[in-house]
Amino acid sequence: MHPPAGGGFRGVVKPFEFKGYHVAAGWMALYSILETHPIPTIYPKPECFDPDRFSPQRQEHKQRPFTLIGFGGGPRICVGIAFAKMEMKIVAAHLLRGYQWELVPNQSLDSVQVPPVAPKMGCAFIYQQL
């Protein structure tokens, strides 16, 4: 829901039509993570936190190619994808297992879309080591 970058550019290899527009080979096209990930026909109830959508039983992100594009895709996919995923799991496990977290109430979480996406005023937590 809050990717670190909004998307990226790719060179168009084969011409195609998109919503009535002709896109020629050789043009640069922008792909948008912010516009793709919340499409309800791809991810039902995209606004809900639902990690099970990626479970082996559901695999919503594999129903259509390039619908989960946080790391890009195809031959130009992020070379560090496996390392980044492992790093995220380790940090999340450490933080969730060792601490109790609570958002400080009454703070603005309005975000800015300039990479990385972050709350304009920061984000404060109260935490307690378990």
pLDDT average, residue stretch 102-123: 86
Q: What is the pLDDT of residue 26?
A: 97
> Phi/psi zone of residue 99: left (φ > 0), alpha (ψ -120 to 50 degrees), beta?
beta
Kindly indicate the confidence band of residue 7, based on its pLDDT and cuts at 50, 70 and 90: confident
CB 34 within 8 A of CB 4: no
Q: What is the pLDDT of residue 34?
A: 83
What residue segments make up the domains of the chain, in order of their start?
A: 1-77, 79-130
Can you tell me the distance from the alpha carbon of 53 to that of 58, in angstroms, rounded to the nearest whole number? 6
Q: What is the pLDDT of residue 29?
A: 93
pTM of the model: 0.64
Q: What is the pLDDT of residue 107?
A: 94
pLDDT tens digits along 84-110: 999 999 999 999 998 999 999 999 988
pLDDT average, residue stretch 56-79: 88
Angle at 78 between CA 31 and CA 66, to 5 degrees: 40
